[in-house]
Amino acid sequence: MNDNTTSIDKKIISVEEAEKIILSQKRDFGAETVSFKNCLGRVLTQDIVADRDLPPFNRVAMDGIAIKYEAIEKGVETFGIKATQAAGETPIEIKTVDECIEIMTGAALHSTADTIIRYEDIEIKNSKAFLQTDDIKKGQNIHWKGSDKKQGEVLVEASSIITPSVINVAVSVGAKDLTVKKLPKVVVISTGDEVIDVDKMPSPYQIRNSNAYSIEAVLKQYSILPALLHLADDEKTIREKIKQCLNDYDVLILSGGVSMGKFDYLPKVLKELSVNKLFYKVQQRPGKPFWFGNYGSKLIFAFPGNPVSVFLCLHRYFLPWLKNCLSITSKNVYAVLDENVEFKPSLTYFLQVKLQMNEGQLLAQPIKGNGSGDFSSLTGADAFMELPFDKASFQKGEVYKLWMINQTSFS
């Protein structure tokens, strides 16, 4: 690798160029049908349509009595209770103006009634209801058939993300199985003889494999269950396994193995396997030695081995790529820098920040970390703030883009 140092460094590209190249590699993984029980967070490829009017009938909105409003116009104040109708029962007819039906919320109103008087406004004695108010409007306390949505109307559009309220709508119209975008098959590949699995005791010179598991955890939040693979520093094995992965998966996410070290066989192997390098190295900190390429429709995100770099590259490049493939347009999030920051190198600097809200405004407080190697500082961060490469001083009060991390439902 050493010989190519200068030529490679010349080709270092900006964060914006890297993003553009990655987003241009949009892929469509097709569609699949999933039960409403297992589709939270997935992306619809179908509209959800009202199978009947909503509400499907003139729905009683208060417990009380159903009458003809004509009775009120005629001065009727006492109504004989003809019957009681619960929700779910067949509607009961009223024949005369001095009749009423005792009726419950959720019941379907018969066409002969048009007004509901709630219990609070009547007194019931000996099967008769006595009016206690003169404030009655025609049609009151009825949720009219089709007033929310008409049969055939689109309730949730294709390309929507399935949230709990989308599940509510789907179930309401009987859409038990939903057609959603398929997700890419991903393998997360860690490398290096110094990296051992969590089950084993590391020698003084080894570290435990944590990157693969944090990548897995992030992907799980997006319903992707990646395969995990660890490759020792053996060129032949690496070649065989990578070849297999290019065959079996849509996306290979690698951590480590792309620096300039003698035992970093990956770039060589990828070249031999005719994987097309789209870029190597991005003008950023952390995550500078980020390698990206394709092989037919397959994509290879090879991140540097440092856990903070991995985390940044995953959130700054992989997730936006995934959203783009799924046609999700998510809103950019910005915050106000809450402290002056100096960063001299001509690199886009991804500052770890903690967020606070003040009067509807998002304030970003820099995390005092120990450089990009200290992954334990990451646990206290809410986001990376993207500080552009062409400035060295960033002032309190300036607004910059955020890349949210560490989000859970509790956030």
Side-chain-side CA neighbours of 398 within 13 Å: the count stands at: 14
Nearer to a copy of itself, 58 or 298 (CB): 58
Q: Residue 208 and residue 195: Cα distance in Å, rounded? A: 5
Q: Are strands 284-285 and 348-358 parallel, antiparallel or unpaired?
A: parallel
Nearer to a copy of itself, 73 or 153 (CB): 153
Nearer to a copy of itself, 70 or 225 (CB): 225
Nearer to a copy of itself, 105 or 294 (CB): 105
Q: Residue 167 and residue 215: Cα distance in Å, rounded? A: 28
Residue 307's SS3 state is helix
- The one among 11, 26, 138, 176 contacting a copy of itself by CB under 8 A: 176
Residues between 318 and 347 with contacts to a copy of itself, criterion CB under 8 A:
323, 326, 328, 330-336
Query: Near a copy of itself by CB under 8 A, which window of 181-189, 218-226, 239-247, 271-279?
Result: 218-226
Tokens of 386: 């993207």
Q: Residue 128 and residue 125: Cα distance in Å, rounded? A: 5
Residues 346 and 285: beta-carbon distance below 8 Å: no
222 binds a copy of itself (CB under 8 A): yes
Secondary structure of 110-165 in the HEC alphabet? Answer: CCCCCEEEEHHHEEEECCEEEECCCCCCCCCCEECCCCCECCCCEEECCCCECCHH
Residues between 116 and 135 with contacts to a copy of itself, criterion CB under 8 A:
119-120, 124
78 binds a copy of itself (CB under 8 A): no
- The one among 46, 78, 160, 294 contacting a copy of itself by CB under 8 A: 160
State the virtual CA torsion across 126, 127, 128, 129 in degrees, nearest 10: 110
- The one among 12, 40, 273, 367 contacting a copy of itself by CB under 8 A: 40
Nearer to a copy of itself, 78 or 377 (CB): 377
The CB-of-300 to a copy of itself minimum distance in angstroms stands at 20
The CB-of-174 to a copy of itself minimum distance in angstroms stands at 6
147 binds a copy of itself (CB under 8 A): yes
